[in-house]
Structure 1
Amino acid sequence: MDAQLIAFTGVAAGMVAMPGADFTVVVRNALVSRRAGVACALGVAGGLLLHTALAVAGVAAVLAAVPALFRTLQLLGGAYVLYLGVRTLDGLRRQRDREHPAVSGGTLSGEDVAGGPGDGSRPLRQGFVTNALNPKAPITFLSLLPQFVPAGSPAMPRTLVLALIVVAVALVWFPAVALLVDRLGRWLRRPRAARAVEAVTGSALTVLGLVLLLEPLRA
């Protein structure tokens, strides 16, 4: 691996590990079960794969050139993240009203987050949609990837390698987060801890959703 690829790997790791909606939704699902957390993590990685593919194909340039389309995608992404946050807080309120923990002494329920026993599609979909509806990602990649293409080198093969590095980092980081949360699950799913974590993740998603919604409206 040459120096530029090593440097890009570090930059990609920093971008992927940066706390945000992806991290929060993975933690939220991991509190339900290891399977839900890992499925959500794979969904996030799938969203990153979509973004990097778009960047390599140059589609991200269209988003940059058409502000209305970019703002529409921002609004859709913000609305979805806000929906997840409000749903989390509403689930916490309903759990408190019932005073009946649904998951191993905690307050998160598999039905609310993962879609019920054996249903791995909902957390996978949540992870994918949360990441895929972030229109800033493909533009970020479009502006970042060319900086790591050596002068005179074929652009397409190099950008494909860079895109695969991003996806590989995501495939390591987000499942690791899910497994760590699951490992700490016995403590995190205690009624008081579970309510606190759910309140924090729900509030974080709600705030992130509002920020994403307000940003294009103020532009």
Structure 2
Amino acid sequence: MDGQLIAFTGVAAGMVAMPGADFTVVVRNALVSRRAGVACALGVAGGLLVHTALAVAGVAAVLTAVPALFRALQVAGGAYVLYMGVRALLALREWTAGAGTEADARTEADAGADTGTRRFAPLRQGFVTNALNPKAPVTFLSLLPQFVPAGSPALPRTLVLALIVVALALVWFPAVAVLVDRLGRWLRRPRAARAITAVTGGALTALGTVLLAEPLLAA
């Protein structure tokens, strides 16, 4: 592996591991079950695959060239993250009113989380959360070319860089889900679970508000 690939891997690892909506959604799903957390993590990686594919194809340049389209995607992404945060806080209120035991808390977490009871809901939630992030394709579009050596074919190199990002996501987010699940006995205690739900719900609400306000105020 050459020096540029090593440098890019370090930068990409920092980007993937940076706490944000993806991390928060994976943690919330992992509190329900390991399967839900890992499925959500795979959904996040799927969203990253879409972004990197767009960057490789150059389609992401359209988002930069057409501000209205970029703002529309920002609004959609912000609204979805805000929706998940509000749903989490509403579920927390219902949970606080009715939960009394650890078993009750687990049941409420299953019922109140956005994952619902549908089998593929965690996967879809992770995918949509990441795929509706409008800044990701622009970030990749501006970042990937910096690590393509002068004179070398751009497409094969960009594909390698894109695969590195997806591979890092496939390692990081499932690892987060498994770690949360292993700590599940403590994390799912009513008091701890309520605190985590409050923090993650508040974080999603704040992130969604910022994402939603930015394009609306800029319009």
Whether these two folds match at TM > 0.5 is yes
C-alpha contact (below 8 Å) 2:102/2:188 kept by paired residues: no
What do residues 86-116 of structure 1 show as CA deviations (whole Å, max 9, x unaligned)?
0001011111222355757447522333322
Superposed CA RMSD in Å reads 1.4
Report matched runs for 1:1-12 at 5 Å: 1-12=1-12
Seen in structure 2, the aligned counterparts of structure 1 residues 102 and 80 have a Cα distance that, compared at 3 Å, is farther
CA distance in 2, matches of 1:125, 1:89: 20
Give the unaligned 5+ runs of structure 2. Answer: none
Q: Runs in 1 of length 4+ with deviation above 4 angstroms?
A: 100-108
Q: Which SS does the other structure have where 1:181 is aligned? A: helix
C-alpha contact (below 8 Å) 2:81/2:204 kept by paired residues: yes
CA distance in 2, matches of 1:64, 1:140: 11
Q: Check if 1:201 corresponds to 2:178.
A: no
Q: Which SS does the other structure have where 1:109 is aligned? A: helix
Give the unaligned 5+ runs of structure 1. Answer: none
TM-score, normalised via structure 1 length: 0.95
- Which deviates more, 98-107 or 197-206? 98-107
Quote how far apart the aligned CAs of 1:47 are.
0.2
Tell me what 2:38 maps to: 38
Seen in structure 2, the aligned counterparts of structure 1 residues 50 and 10 have a Cα distance that, compared at 3 Å, is same
What do residues 98-137 of structure 1 show as CA deviations (whole Å, max 9, x unaligned)?
2355757447522333322xx4310100000000000100
Seen in structure 2, the aligned counterparts of structure 1 residues 218 and 76 have a Cα distance that, compared at 3 Å, is same
Tell me what 1:14 maps to: 14
Q: Check if 1:115 corresponds to 2:100.
A: no
What do residues 183-209 of structure 1 show as CA deviations (whole Å, max 9, x unaligned)?
111000011000000000000000000
Tell me what 1:52 maps to: 52
Query: Which residue identity does 1:74 align to in structure 2?
Result: Q
Tell me what 2:151 maps to: 152
Seen in structure 2, the aligned counterparts of structure 1 residues 128 and 218 have a Cα distance that, compared at 3 Å, is same
TM-score, normalised via structure 2 length: 0.95
